[in-house]
Amino acid sequence: MPLPPVYGHADARAMLASAARAGNLSQSLLVHGPAGIGKERMAMWLAQRVMCEAPRADGPCGQCRSCRSIDRLEHPDVHWFFPLPRPDAATPEKLRDKLEEARGVELEARRANPHHVPQFDKAPAYFMGTIQNLQRLAGMRPAVGSRKVFVVGDAEAMVPQESSQEAANAFLKLLEEPPADTTLILTSSNPGALLPTIKSRVLPIRLLRLTADEVRDFLVRELKMADGEAASLAAVSEGAIGRALRLAPAGGNAGTLQRQRETGRELLQAALADSEAARFAAANAVAPSGARGEFTGTLESLALWLRDLMAIAAGAPDTVAYAGADEALLRRLASRPGLRAEGVARAILHVQEAQEMAGGNVNPQLILSDLLRSVRRALS
């Protein structure tokens, strides 16, 4: 499946298209802004503009062979890099090969599903082997056109930690003297974490959050979501398509979203129930393993219920975003003796901790039964 079109960012696109038209497009750029707003898609759009066979005044044509092969992530001169977990490897050469193999696997997943949200068991990063692979490709002549483009997503993962100090320095070398036929596009949602020496060599392009309408359009057109549901999901997306996709896993299946919302409600009610058995049962009703994406979605849903509970408890019912139809239930819960806004805030923090743990190898049922007990304590 091809990449979806770019949603939003009209100003940034106009500015970049005009620079490209004037022949002033920088060779090294940094697209930055909040997570999930489409920075890497924008970087691909820019790659399309650089490689397009018949560019228009407002950007790439979207139709030519080059534009289409970038849409399918198949252009031999457009290289998409992103942080990956460290594979087990005995030697630096093996590590390099395995990293390139893992990049291929991840690209294949993105080709099969452009809305694919990567899920890794270990924290992803940029390793020396990744940068060596990038350098090797940068040193080669373009395979079909006259230029090469590198998109380096989440570039802040190249921070000088002990494992990646040398990776950052090696990348810096490339930025200092990029081959004349090479365009480098970095993206980052945390540009403050980039090495200052890297930041000083790239032209920054700042992207803003999308409007709720832009996120809704994406959900309706790309995920075929019903209008009303898309609007309510867009309302809690914080202007980030990535966040909407995380909340709506399984390709945005409306049933999944509804089910998660209900599971979130059941969990909240179980957390507040008087009996320990109710919490135990609710935790055990969650699939023990396998569906990690689903579990993450369930936790996200509980966090959204708690935020809405917070809005009611703080006397701001019109900011309820997620559980609008269940306001009566929220009001009842909010009026419990002992429930305070600070407690709800603490409960939300507990959910965030559980979300971090869910990224590791801990059994979801264990995470959940601990979580429900902590939430109960915070809310009583």
| Chain contacts with Zn ion (rule: CB under 5 A) | 52, 60-61, 64, 67
Q: Which two tokens stand for residue 183?
A: 């365009």
Helix H or strand E encompassing 354: helix 341-358
CB of 63 to Zn ion, least distance (A): 6
CB of 345 to Zn ion, least distance (A): 49
Q: Which is nearer to Zn ion, 67 or 375 (CB)?
A: 67
Q: Which is nearer to Zn ion, 52 or 170 (CB)?
A: 52
Q: Which is nearer to Zn ion, 61 or 109 (CB)?
A: 61
CB of 68 to Zn ion, least distance (A): 8
232 contact partners, CB below 8 Å, separation of at least 6: 321, 322, 324
CB of 20 to Zn ion, least distance (A): 12
Question: For residues 154 and 7, what is the distance between their CA atoms, to the nearest angstrom?
Answer: 20
Question: For residues 160 and 128, what is the distance between their CA atoms, to the nearest angstrom?
Answer: 11
Q: Which is nearer to Zn ion, 50 or 323 (CB)?
A: 50
| Residue corresponding to tokens 């093996």 | 94
Q: Which is nearer to Zn ion, 55 or 83 (CB)?
A: 55
Which residue, among 20, 5, 106, has the nearest Cα to 55 in the 3D structure? 20
CB of 73 to Zn ion, least distance (A): 15
Q: Which is nearer to Zn ion, 68 or 111 (CB)?
A: 68
Q: How many CB atoms lie within 10 A of CB 113?
A: 10
CB of 78 to Zn ion, least distance (A): 12
263 contact partners, CB below 8 Å, separation of at least 6: 286, 298, 301
Which residue, among 255, 237, 311, has the nearest Cα to 34 in the 3D structure? 237
Question: For residues 296 and 364, what is the distance between their CA atoms, to the nearest angstrom?
Answer: 9
